[in-house]
């Protein structure tokens, strides 16, 4: 839980921009840009889990990749460090990044593509430790041993190749690789989306357990709002490259202040036939981030859109305790969330 | 909350797996072998199931054996002429006679056709020429290292005639010339493709790894080269070689001419693999581990396409062999006294010689068998190349 | 519910894949019935055989797979009567007239089932002309009608669009339009919304519901998402490793699950609104590999009500319970015995 909200953030994203150029023609001239992430700001407190949700193409994965610096952002700042040593990762050269590559790790979505099929489990987990000169020889072996046991794998299988493991087990290997460097922040990009329902819960519980044991901070990126509710302390909602709402999990789910959040929540199929709710079905498709609509990007699909939404871009503002939303009518609208479940 | 989970999960891991042993056709092997099997092992297991490719691999191996130990397989010196036996037809090797195992061939009786004034040969069953295995013949150096005079097969008395595949216009032994021709033709295939490969990997790698303007430029160059009509280009370049050059110089010049076009195909394969691999999650994971560019290239990316490169190389050797044969056949490639299949086929250029001595076409059979074998082998390798697909 | 006429009855269906290395029993004894105009959900994790069941009904199993046993009785009513699809040869004229006409299918990935080189209009018109006597002109008009029906805006112009010009949701709509163009009696939807975003998924599910009311067809929805079945289906079949483990009406399944697998599955999914107060109880282990099926009950290695000496030895039969439900578990042996009929 984010008890220490008064403390310093571990990570502060400030006006982050990631624009991918669109090139056309033989000369590859730049004719426009896909604004995958456009002016996004938020912070993550040490030890908390921030859920980042949105539909495909909203830029949530791009943000994750900017934070681990798989991409170099085209604008803005990524300030890292809970103490005063705060460094702007967005500006660091590759050669100076190595120290942060230890502290910020990533868990990938696809347990098949993210493990090199030509390396044994031992090498996959040991490689980051070798690169950072953390351990070698028998000490390295011991550490891999411990790590595998921590993620629920049998250490005697460390000489096996990834093809010997099921999807859930591979995801555990990926988690062990992320933990190998004793990170502070773990970016989990759709970490359970590719797994079977019954295995998904295993991995979610493992992540919770590890967070407790190692005081990890998670940025949990997902399109699945029910999984995010289970894991996250706070949730940020994105739409077409912009942050539209952010609040503590219960607040956001019970009391959404942005029509898009409301629609997202109402669209989740609930596995309980007695709770079939009236669904808000949005018209049309997610806007094209290369050619977004005027004003509020959501206005063409918004059931509450007014003239002002067409012309004026809403900015994020505080609409409640620790609750921010980017909607002109956030205070006026009567939006429905998910009522707390009574058992 | 799930404190019991990891232990119990671990217990369950013994019974759950994704790639069953059976799917790889190794039901008989211990299952755990599959789990610790490297890429090459998995590839071999998969390749082994491909019967035709296995047979083609055997044939290819045999052909290369002949190429490497050509002298051992050649009964007599390939340039030894014999005015006595011009256009002598092939003899049949007979292994057994009344007295049991006694390999021999029959000698020739020559008659001169009084009308056509042409000499014709008749096999003479009266003359038995004893043939032996591992007989002593002309001297040579094995692999250029140590001297030997052992030959797989030959007449026990070196002066007696033995032409298992007949003789040519100058009475030279076609079998011996085939064996030496195999060496030249096969080596041109390998050397030519090696040059293509080096060029292809370097330029394709640069193109795929850096992308952008460099990629654009290299791709346009490749397109330009590929748009040139190959045969006239080869002919032009082949004809431009100075007549004064020695056989070795011509040999290398021809190989380089052939690889000039060959590299473009390989460069495209390498570039394509690089482009797809660059986006792979495990390559990004290696970057996030802090691995250096070098490490990513050599430990993560290259191993992922060694196997594809091997398959592509195998599939491009036949093209080089065919090109050399075509050039030499037209008299613009290798020239006598160098013996290659193309040079040998020059002998079979006119209808008259083919009509009187059809055995001169045997080198063509060699070309066909080699090209087919390499193609089947390449296809098998290509199918086995990605055991994780 | 019982008074509705049975449209499709699958009895003891077994579809095996004969590989060099052994036989994969992808579908191993599946029974269920689909009633006219209702929605039935087939739920299960990867490898449970739900998709193979659907493909078997349409006789779309490729070699080395084969239906080795069972009946698939399609009741088309009227003069056609009841046909056993399992007896028809996959390439026969009769089977081809069933596919796309009486039974249509939509898939998870529309890009794989729509041709990229033909306009969506041409593909729909082709389907219509194959099954209906209609002039080119009428077929085109009909195609525009179905495109309008599935909510594609400006169908008069979109009919000439290629698939790559459409968004994911629109493609799925186009595929539904193609499936519905011949008014099928049964629509089989194999993970129709899995590749879509939540809001688009909501659109497609609403659309399918609306179309079903309008056209009166039965829908067989194949999915791994328990939320989707809870919201759309009346009857649910739960599959595990090629077998039906439980069959029930939707309300009982979610509020009184019988089979330990169903119970465990429901405990392992996060419930919306429960927040962080809830506990997820995962099912241990993973779905076994089809070459190494456990002995006895296929679920026993992961079952929390495992009875040693029983579950790992005896393979349970599907037991019919008094309320029309069925469960394949030894825990209900005595219950079933009274009502077995």
Of B34-43, B45-54, B161-170, highest mean pLDDT: B45-54
- Both tokens assigned to B259: 């690889």
Q: What is the pLDDT of residue A186?
A: 95
Q: Does C169 touch chain A (CB under 8 A)?
A: yes
C309 Cβ contact list (under 8 Å, min separation 6) = none
Instruction: Check B5 against A110: CB less than 8 A apart.
Output: no
A181 band by pLDDT with thresholds 50, 70 and 90: very high
Mean pLDDT over A77-83 rounds to 82
**B139 located within any domain:** no
Q: What is the mean pLDDT of chain C?
A: 86
Residue A201 with chain C: CB contacts under 8 Å: 268-270, 280-283
CATH classification for the domain delimited by A5-232, as one of 3.90.45.10, 3.40.225.10, 3.40.50.300, 3.40.50.11540: 3.40.50.300
Chain C residue nearest residue B1, CA to CA = C279
Does residue C88 have a pLDDT over 50?
A: yes
How many structural domains is chain B composed of? 1
Q: Does C256 touch chain A (CB under 8 A)?
A: no
Give the integer Cα–Cα distance in Å for A276 and A338. Answer: 12
Does residue C220 have a pLDDT over 90?
A: yes
Does residue C209 have a pLDDT over 80?
A: yes
Give the integer Cα–Cα distance in Å for A314 and B312. Answer: 56
Does residue A123 have a pLDDT over 90?
A: yes
The values of phi and psi at residue A25, to 5°, are: 80, 175
C-alpha distance from residue A136 to each of A129, A132, A133, B98, C112 (Å): 8, 10, 7, 75, 48
Residue A105 with chain B: CB contacts under 8 Å: 288
| Comparison of pLDDT for B107 and C66, the residue scoring more | C66
Does residue B5 have a pLDDT over 70?
A: no
Mean pLDDT over B190-215 rounds to 85
Chain A residue nearest residue B212, CA to CA = A28
Does residue B253 have a pLDDT over 80?
A: yes
Q: What is the pLDDT of residue A239?
A: 93
Q: What is the pLDDT of residue C149?
A: 84
Q: What is the pLDDT of residue A17?
A: 92
Does residue A253 have a pLDDT over 70?
A: yes
Distance from the Cα of B34 to chain C's closest Cα (Å) equals 14
Q: Which tens digits make up the pLDDT trace of A23-71? A: 776 666 778 888 899 899 999 999 999 999 998 888 999 999 999 999 9
Chain B residue nearest residue A187, CA to CA = B288
DSSP symbols for C261-274: HHHHHHHHSPPTT-
| Comparison of pLDDT for B36 and B215, the residue scoring more | B215
Q: What is the pLDDT of residue B112?
A: 76
C-alpha distance from residue B236 to each of A105, B257, C173 (Å): 59, 10, 59
Beta partners for C18?
C23
Question: Could you tell me the sign of the dihedral formed by the alpha carbons of C199, C201, C204, C205, in that order?
Answer: negative
CB burial string A157-174: b at 16+ within 10 A, e below: bbebbbbbbbbbbbbbbb
- Strand ranges across the sheet with B146-155: B94-97, B100-113, B118-142, B146-155
Question: Could you tell me the sign of the dihedral formed by the alpha carbons of A206, A212, A215, A218, in that order?
Answer: positive
C186 band by pLDDT with thresholds 50, 70 and 90: very high
Beta strands B118-142 and B100-113, pairing class: antiparallel
Of A235-249, B88-102, B240-254, C9-23, highest mean pLDDT: A235-249
CA C183 to chain CA centroid, nearest Å:
18
Nearest to B158 by CA among B146, B149, B166, B170: B149
- Name the percent of chain C in helix, strand, coil, to the closest 5: 35, 25, 40
Does residue B16 have a pLDDT over 50?
A: no
Of B90-94, B100-104, C80-84, C143-147, highest mean pLDDT: C143-147
Q: Which tens digits make up the pLDDT trace of B299-344? A: 888 888 877 788 888 888 888 888 888 888 887 777 777 888 888 8
Mean pLDDT over A302-331 rounds to 92
Distance from the Cα of A193 to chain C's closest Cα (Å) equals 11
Instruction: Check A196 against C287: CB less than 8 A apart.
Output: yes
Does residue B2 have a pLDDT over 50?
A: no
Q: Which tens digits make up the pLDDT trace of C10-68? A: 999 999 998 877 788 899 989 999 998 899 999 998 888 888 999 999 998 888 888 99
What letter would DSSP give residue A255?
S
3-state secondary structure chain B: CCCCHHHHHHHHHCCCCCCCHHHHCCCCCCHHHHHCCCHHHHHHHHHHCCHHHHHHHHHHHHHHHHHHCHHHHCCCCCCCCCHHHCCCCCCCCEEEECCEEEEEEEEEEEEEECCCCEEEEEEEEEEEEEEEEEEEEEEEEECCCEEEEEEEEEECCCCCCCCCCCECCCCCEHHHHHHHHHHHHHHHHHHHHHHHHHHHHHHHHHHHHHCHHHHHHHHHHHHHHHHCCHHHHHHHHHHHCCCCCCHHHHHHHHHHHHHHHHHHHHHHHHHHHHHHHHCCHHHHHHHHCCCCHHHHHHHHHHHHHHHHHHHHHHHHHHHHHHHHHHHHHCCCCCCCCCCCHHHHHHCCCCHHHHHHCHHHHHHHHHHHHHHHHHHHHHHHHHHHCCCCC
Residue C256 with chain A: CB contacts under 8 Å: none
Does residue A168 have a pLDDT over 50?
A: yes
Q: Does C304 touch chain B (CB under 8 A)?
A: no
Residue B297 with chain A: CB contacts under 8 Å: none
Chain A residue nearest residue C277, CA to CA = A230
Q: What is the pLDDT of residue A149?
A: 92
Does residue A184 have a pLDDT over 90?
A: yes
Nearest to C198 by CA among C166, C230, C233, C225: C225
CB burial string B50-60: b at 16+ within 10 A, e below: beebeebbebb
Q: Which tens digits make up the pLDDT trace of C227-264? A: 999 989 999 999 999 999 999 999 999 999 999 999 99
Q: pTM for the whole thing?
A: 0.82
Q: Which of the residue ranges A142-146, B135-139, B179-183 would you say has the lowest mean pLDDT?
A: B135-139
Instruction: Check A114 against B282: CB less than 8 A apart.
Output: yes
Residue A282 with chain C: CB contacts under 8 Å: 199, 202-203
Residue A259 with chain C: CB contacts under 8 Å: none
Does residue C190 have a pLDDT over 70?
A: yes
Distance from the Cα of C218 to chain A's closest Cα (Å) equals 19
A328 band by pLDDT with thresholds 50, 70 and 90: very high
A98 band by pLDDT with thresholds 50, 70 and 90: confident
Distance from the Cα of B216 to chain C's closest Cα (Å) equals 26
H or E element, residue C80? none
| Comparison of pLDDT for A246 and A98, the residue scoring more | A246
Does residue B199 have a pLDDT over 60?
A: yes
Q: How many beta-carbon contacts under 8 Å exist across A and B?
A: 114
| Comparison of pLDDT for C124 and A29, the residue scoring more | C124
Nearest to C110 by CA among C199, C194, C235, C233: C194
Answer whether A271's CB lies under 8 Å from C226's CB: yes
Mean pLDDT over A280-307 rounds to 87
Does residue A3 have a pLDDT over 70?
A: no
Instruction: Check A276 against C198: CB less than 8 A apart.
Output: no
Instruction: Check A202 against C282: CB less than 8 A apart.
Output: yes
Q: Which tens digits make up the pLDDT trace of C274-300? A: 777 778 888 888 888 777 788 889 899
Q: Which of the residue ranges B18-22, B134-138, B147-151, C202-206 would you say has the lowest mean pLDDT?
A: B18-22
Residue A227 with chain C: CB contacts under 8 Å: 270
- Strand ranges across the sheet with A323-325: A104-107, A185-189, A217-222, A49-53, A234-239, A242-248, A323-325, A317-320
Distance from the Cα of B264 to chain C's closest Cα (Å) equals 30
**B306 located within any domain:** yes
Which CATH number fits the domain that encloses residue B285?
1.10.3720.10
Answer whether A153's CB lies under 8 Å from B10's CB: yes
**Range of the structural domain that residue B256 is part of:** 177-383
- Give the best residue of A195, A198, A206, A247 to mutate against chain C (max C CB count within 10 A): A198
Q: What is the pLDDT of residue A275?
A: 79
Does residue A225 have a pLDDT over 80?
A: yes
As a dihedral over the C-alpha atoms of residue A244, residue A247, residue A250, residue A254, rounded to 10 degrees, the angle is -40
Nearest to A81 by CA among A15, A12, A132: A12
Residue C47 with chain B: CB contacts under 8 Å: none
Of B69-78, B337-346, C263-272, highest mean pLDDT: C263-272
**B266 located within any domain:** yes
Q: What is the pLDDT of residue B389?
A: 60
Q: How many beta-carbon contacts under 8 Å exist across A and C?
A: 153
Q: What is the mean pLDDT of chain B?
A: 79
- Give the best residue of A61, A115, A161 to mutate against chain B (max B CB count within 10 A): A161
**B331 located within any domain:** yes
B168 band by pLDDT with thresholds 50, 70 and 90: confident
Q: What is the pLDDT of residue B209?
A: 77
- Both tokens assigned to C8: 């499709």
Query: In the complex, which subunits touch B with 3 or more CB pairs below 8 angstroms?
Result: A, C
Q: Which of the residue ranges A271-275, A290-294, B230-234 would you say has the lowest mean pLDDT?
A: B230-234
Instruction: Check C289 against B27: CB less than 8 A apart.
Output: no
3-state secondary structure of A186: strand
- Give the best residue of B19, B212, B289 to mutate against chain A (max A CB count within 10 A): B289
Instruction: Check A110 against B281: CB less than 8 A apart.
Output: yes
Each domain of chain A, given as residue ranges in start order, spans: 5-232, 256-343
Q: Which of the residue ranges A302-306, B242-246, C239-243 would you say has the lowest mean pLDDT?
A: B242-246
C341 band by pLDDT with thresholds 50, 70 and 90: very low
A267 Cβ contact list (under 8 Å, min separation 6) = A279, A280, A281, A282, C198, C199, C201, C202
**B125 located within any domain:** no
Mean pLDDT over B99-107 rounds to 80
As a dihedral over the C-alpha atoms of residue A130, residue A133, residue A138, residue A144, rounded to 10 degrees, the angle is -50
């Amino acid at each position: 839980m984010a008890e220490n909200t008064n403390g310093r953030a571990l990570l502060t994203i400030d006006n982050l921009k990631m624009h991918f150029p669109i090139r056309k023609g033989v000369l590859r001239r730049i004719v426009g840009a896909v604004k995958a992430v456009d002016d996004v700001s938020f912070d993550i407190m040490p030890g908390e889990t921030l859920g980042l949700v949105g539909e495909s193409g909203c830029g949530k994965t791009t943000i994750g990749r900017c934070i681990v610096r798989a991409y170099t952002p085209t604008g803005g700042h990524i300030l890292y460090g809970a103490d005063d040593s705060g460094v702007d990762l967005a500006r660091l050269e590759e050669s100076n990044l190595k120290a942060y590559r230890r502290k910020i790790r990533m868990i990938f979505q696809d347990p098949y593509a993210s493990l090199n099929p030509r390396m044994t489990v031992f090498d996959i987990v040991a490689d980051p430790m070798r690169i950072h000169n953390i351990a070698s020889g028998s000490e390295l072996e011991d550490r891999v041993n411990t790590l595998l046991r921590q993620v629920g794998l049998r250490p005697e299988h460390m000489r096996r190749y990834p093809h010997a493991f099921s999807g859930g087990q591979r995801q555990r290997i990926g988690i062990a690789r992320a933990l190998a460097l004793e990170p502070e922040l773990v970016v989990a990009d759709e970490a359970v989306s590719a797994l079977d329902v019954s295995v998904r819960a295993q991995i979610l519980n493992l992540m919770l357990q590890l967070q407790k044991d190692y005081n990890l901070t998670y940025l949990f990126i997902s399109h699945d709002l029910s999984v995010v509710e289970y894991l996250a302390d706070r949730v940020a909602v994105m739409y077409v490259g912009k942050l539209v709402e952010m609040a503590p999990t219960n607040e956001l789910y019970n009391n959404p202040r942005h029509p898009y959040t409301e629609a997202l929540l109402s669209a989740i199929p609930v596995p309980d036939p007695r709770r079939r709710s009236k669904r808000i079905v949005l018209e049309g498709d997610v806007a094209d981030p290369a050619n977004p609509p005027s004003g509020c990007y959501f206005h063409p699909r918004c059931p509450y859109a007014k003239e002002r939404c067409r012309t004026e871009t809403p900015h994020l503002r505080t609409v409640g305790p620790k609750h921010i939303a980017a909607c002109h009518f956030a205070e006026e609208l009567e939006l429905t969330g998910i009522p707390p479940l009574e058992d | 909350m799930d404190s019991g989970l990891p232990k119990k999960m671990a217990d369950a891991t013994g019974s759950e797996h994704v790639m069953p042993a059976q799917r790889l056709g190794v039901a008989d092997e211990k299952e755990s072998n599959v789990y610790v099997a490297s890429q090459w092992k998995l590839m071999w297991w998969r390749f082994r199931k491909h019967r035709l490719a296995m047979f083609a691999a055997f044939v290819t191996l045999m052909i290369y054996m002949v190429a490497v130990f050509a002298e051992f397989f050649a009964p007599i010196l390939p340039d030894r002429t014999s005015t006595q036996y011009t256009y002598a037809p092939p003899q049949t090797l007979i292994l057994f006679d009344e007295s049991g195992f006694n390999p021999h061939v029959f000698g020739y009786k020559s008659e001169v056709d009084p009308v056509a004034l042409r000499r014709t040969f008749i096999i003479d069953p009266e003359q038995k020429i004893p043939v032996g295995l591992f007989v002593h013949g002309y001297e040579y150096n094995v692999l250029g290292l140590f001297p030997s005079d052992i030959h797989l097969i030959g007449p026990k008395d070196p002066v007696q005639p033995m032409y298992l595949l007949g003789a040519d216009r100058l009475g030279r032994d076609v079998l011996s010339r085939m064996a030496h021709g195999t060496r030249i033709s096969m080596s041109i295939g390998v050397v030519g493709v090696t040059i293509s490969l080096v060029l292809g990997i370097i330029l394709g790698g640069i193109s795929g790894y850096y992308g952008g303007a460099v990629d654009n430029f290299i791709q346009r160059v490749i397109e330009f080269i590929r748009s040139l009509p190959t045969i006239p280009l080869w002919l032009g370049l082949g004809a431009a070689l100075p007549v004064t050059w020695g056989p070795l110089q011509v040999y290398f010049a021809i190989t380089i001419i052939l690889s000039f076009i060959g590299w473009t195909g390989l460069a495209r394969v390498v570039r394509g693999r690089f482009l797809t691999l660059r986006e792979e999650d495990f390559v990004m994971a290696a970057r996030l581990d802090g691995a250096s560019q070098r490490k990513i290239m050599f430990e993560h990316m290259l191993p992922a396409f060694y196997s594809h490169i091997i398959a592509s190389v195998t599939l491009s050797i036949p093209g080089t062999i065919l090109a050399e044969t075509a050039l030499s056949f037209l008299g613009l490639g290798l020239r006598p006294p160098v013996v290659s299949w193309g040079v040998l086929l020059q002998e079979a250029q006119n209808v008259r010689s083919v009509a009187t001595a059809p055995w001169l076409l045997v080198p063509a059979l060699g070309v066909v068998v080699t090209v087919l074998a390499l193609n089947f082998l390449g296809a098998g390798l290509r199918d086995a190349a990605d055991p994780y697909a | 519910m019982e008074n509705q006429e049975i449209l499709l009855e699958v009895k003891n269906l077994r579809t095996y894949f004969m590989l060099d290395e052994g036989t994969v029993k992808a579908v191993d004894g599946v029974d269920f019935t689909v009633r006219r105009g209702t929605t039935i959900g087939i739920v299960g994790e990867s490898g449970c055989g739900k998709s193979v069941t659907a493909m078997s009904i349409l006789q779309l199993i490729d070699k080395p797979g084969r239906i080795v046993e069972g009946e698939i009785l399609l009741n088309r009513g009227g003069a056609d009567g009841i046909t056993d699809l399992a007896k028809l040869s996959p390439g026969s004229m009769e089977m081809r007239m069933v596919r796309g006409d009486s039974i249509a299918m939509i898939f998870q990935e529309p890009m794989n089932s729509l041709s990229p080189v033909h306009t969506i209009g041409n593909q729909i018109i082709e389907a219509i002309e194959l099954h209906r006597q209609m002039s080119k002109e009428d077929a085109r008009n009909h195609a525009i009608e179905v495109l309008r029906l599935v909510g594609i805006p400006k169908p008069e112009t979109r009919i000439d669009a290629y698939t790559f010009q459409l968004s994911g949701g629109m493609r799925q709509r186009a595929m539904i339009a193609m499936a519905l163009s011949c008014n099928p009696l049964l629509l089989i939807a194999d993970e129709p919304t899995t590749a879509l975003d939540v809001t688009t998924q909501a659109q497609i599910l609403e659309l399918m519901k609306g179309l079903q009311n309008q056209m009166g067809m039965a829908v067989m929805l194949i999915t791994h998402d328990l939320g989707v079945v809870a919201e759309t289906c009346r009857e649910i079949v739960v599959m595990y490793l090629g077998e039906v483990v439980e069959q029930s009406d939707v309300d009982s399944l979610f509020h009184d699950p019988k089979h330990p697998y169903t119970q465990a599955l429901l405990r392992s999914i996060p419930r919306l609104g429960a927040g962080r107060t809830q506990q997820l109880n995962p099912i241990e282990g993973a779905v076994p590999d089809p070459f190494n099926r456990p002995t006895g009950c296929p679920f026993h290695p992961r079952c929390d009500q495992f009875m040693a000496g029983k579950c790992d030895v005896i393979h349970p039969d599907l037991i019919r319970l008094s309320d029309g439900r069925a469960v394949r578990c030894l825990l209900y042996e005595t219950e079933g015995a009274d009502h077995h009929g």
